[in-house]
A and B are shown apart, each in its own frame.
Chain A
Amino acid sequence: MKIPLRALLLTVLGIGATFGLDPFRNYQLATVAACFAAVAGLTVLVGLTGQLSLGHAVLMAAGGYGFAFAASAVEGPWPLALLVGLVAAVAVAGLLGLLLGMAAARLRGPYLAGLTLALVIALPSAASTLPLGADQGARAPFFAVPEALAALIALEQWHAWLAIVIAAVAVTPLVMLRSGRAGLRMRAVLDDETAARLSGVDPGLVKAGAFVASAVPAGLGGAILAIATQQVTPGGYGLAFSLLLVVAAVVGGLGSIGGAAIGSVLIVFLPWIVDELVAAVPSDLGQRLDGNLAVLLFGAGLIAMTLAWPGGAARLLDRLRAARPSRLATPTTTTER
């Protein structure tokens, strides 16, 4: 019961925090929540099963499209539309994750990364070939502030609330999965597939399952973005965004949910801060630095982190935690892959 309680506490804290923020910060907070859901899925996939996906942005897009089409089709009160949309996001992203997972079960590192890369590159093509509204994308329904709250909070704050609650619903089962039996199986497969098979663990099943478990929160993250921006476009889920998710997972520390939160905050706020600073640089140079300088810094961070400090930010948290005696000994992963 510990994990759901902690999740509830963090959710309430997050919602409380929205009162201290202006509308733009609340919008950014919703974006962070969306990234957090996707990065949490990605970090568990990479950290516990060693499968690197460069295509988590496509899983987010799948969830976003599923949400947008299903929620728009519902004629009814807003909670019903929201619920139907979220179920559709889970279903579409989960299905795509299952397909990828079935491929992943037979593939090793570079093959899977290449396949998911091809998937990201093909997304704009898919959007214009399939009935997904081409480059304009799909419109997601607008969720207005409910009557009872209208006097109290602004629209962005309401969307941040929705984002925080959905992210909590997406990530909490993942945390329970990770610290339970399934997490053990994943670590066993990562350490030695043959040994795992001899102990009665089916590596193919575990890998495919891990991919689905990772795709579902990513899809819900896409749904959050669809709520916050009221649209889903293929351009928003390109290669650059997909690589940012990888950056967040690596910089936060692979396999760590707390690290995923740190990484998500970083990939949303660092580009914004850098662009604010760059805006002060005059004319042409400033325009070239805009957007690119942050990517340059992220790339350097990714390399430095992998070479010098593979544990990521989560290692720092662990060290702080180790400084004071803890009552609960949690199993930690020591595999560095």
Chain B
Amino acid sequence: MDRFVFLISAGLARGAVLALFALSLVIVWRAARVVNFAQAAMAVTAVYAAFAVTAATGSYWAGLLTGLAAGALLGAAVERGLMRRLPAHAPLPGIIVAIGLVMMLQAGLAIAFGPEHRPMHPPFSERPFLIGGVPVLSPYDLFTLIAAAAVMGALALLFGRTSLGLQLRAAAFAPETSRLLGVRVPRMVTLGWALAVATAALAAMLLVPTELGLNPHAVDLLFVNAFAVAVIGGLDSPIGALLAGVGVGLLVSLVTGYASASAAPLAVLALLTLVLLVRPGGVFSAKEARTA
């Protein structure tokens, strides 16, 4: 029972990070109708920037801010420099360019920083609180949950309650009409990318201190799990990403605890396959237009 409570609480923190990363995929999808396969490599690049600043200044918070800014800049630069030049309405070139970007960024980071795992220290203790003798969340887990909840809340406010959010949604939903009504659509798409990659960078920065360390491939597994989460939730739905993120986080935690760590990717793969076969659009998505 103790074990179960511990695994559930660890799964919640893991799920929050997953949901945050999945949300970043949802933002790009909503802004530009592409799945950004380079999200993990771009996020890990931002984490390296954060790592370098933290190492230079000694402040975790300066590093965190740098990472967010680097993520936003990288997102905007990739959209302006690469993705915009691709033909619209065909997913293949976008995916292929993203794969090229993954290879360039990861190889570039390995050349610049070396392939070894660099330890990143969390700003709070990772020793769990004991409640009635049962280990539950650690202070760092709590920080992760609060940070993820705060960012998701802020994004929900931005998209739902502000004029900028309305423009972002309009630009994604009906680009031509929005342009006629005076929305600067290209700028909105760039902004969407910047927001998304900054969010992904935050998720990666929350994850890396709990793992082996910083490495060009440190976020690969997070991306695959978050992709599964985004698809299960329906690529269009932020609420879906949140619920599916917590669900998959709990699943991974329980499978890791009761079976083995190596069984977790198989469980996620099985769940993804099942959802894709039963409801290809995801569990929370609206119905797709008729094709025939």
> B111 interface residue, CB < 8 Å from A?
yes
A115: chain B residues within 8 A (beta carbon): 272-273, 276
Q: Which of A23-65 contact B (CB under 8 A)?
A: 46, 50, 52, 54
**A114 and B102: CB pair below 8 A?**
no
How far, in whole Å, are A154 and B231 apart by their CA atoms in the complex?
Answer: 52
Known contacts A121-B220, A193-B292, A296-B108; A310 and B93 CB within 8 A of each other: yes
B90: chain A residues within 8 A (beta carbon): 336-337
**A306 and B97: CB pair below 8 A?**
yes
A259–chain B nearest beta-carbon distance, Å: 14
B86: chain A residues within 8 A (beta carbon): 306-307
- Which among B85, B105, B106, B260 has the greatest number of chain A C-beta atoms within 10 A? B106
Known contacts A110-B34, A119-B269, A288-B110; A299 and B277 CB within 8 A of each other: no
**B231 and A114: CB pair below 8 A?**
yes
**A109 and B91: CB pair below 8 A?**
yes
**B277 and A110: CB pair below 8 A?**
no
**B102 and A243: CB pair below 8 A?**
yes
CB-defined interface of B200-244 with A at 8 Å, one 1/0 digit per residue? Answer: 000000000000000000001100100110010001000000000
**B273 and A296: CB pair below 8 A?**
no
How far, in whole Å, are A122 and B263 apart by their CA atoms in the complex?
Answer: 9
B196–chain A nearest beta-carbon distance, Å: 15
**A111 and B96: CB pair below 8 A?**
no
A107–chain B nearest beta-carbon distance, Å: 6
> B291 interface residue, CB < 8 Å from A?
yes
CB-defined interface of B24-61 with A at 8 Å, one 1/0 digit per residue? Answer: 00000000001101000000000000000000000000
- Among A4-12, A74-82, A84-92, A124-132, the stretch in contact with B: A124-132
The secondary structure that dominates the A interface is helix
How far, in whole Å, are A303 and B35 apart by their CA atoms in the complex?
Answer: 17
**B97 and A302: CB pair below 8 A?**
yes
> B153 interface residue, CB < 8 Å from A?
no
> A246 interface residue, CB < 8 Å from B?
yes
B87: chain A residues within 8 A (beta carbon): 336
- Which among A107, A117, A247, A293 has the greatest number of chain B C-beta atoms within 10 A? A117
> B157 interface residue, CB < 8 Å from A?
no
How far, in whole Å, are A114 and B271 apart by their CA atoms in the complex?
Answer: 13
B264: chain A residues within 8 A (beta carbon): 125
**B104 and A126: CB pair below 8 A?**
no
B156: chain A residues within 8 A (beta carbon): none
Known contacts A106-B276, A110-B91, A114-B231; A239 and B220 CB within 8 A of each other: yes
Q: Select A307's contact among B82, B95, B266, beta carbons within 8 Å.
A: B82
Chain A interface residues toward B at CB < 8 A: 46, 50, 52, 54, 102-103, 106-111, 113-115, 117-119, 121-122, 124-126, 128-129, 193-194, 197-198, 239, 243, 246-247, 250, 288-289, 292-293, 295-296, 298-303, 306-307, 310, 336-337
13 intermolecular pairs with C-beta atoms under 8 Å apart: A54-B99, A114-B272, A125-B262, A129-B263, A197-B292, A239-B220, A289-B111, A292-B107, A299-B103, A302-B103, A303-B101, A306-B96, A306-B97
The 4 A-B pairs of least Cβ separation, nearest first, read A299-B103, A302-B100, A109-B91, A299-B104
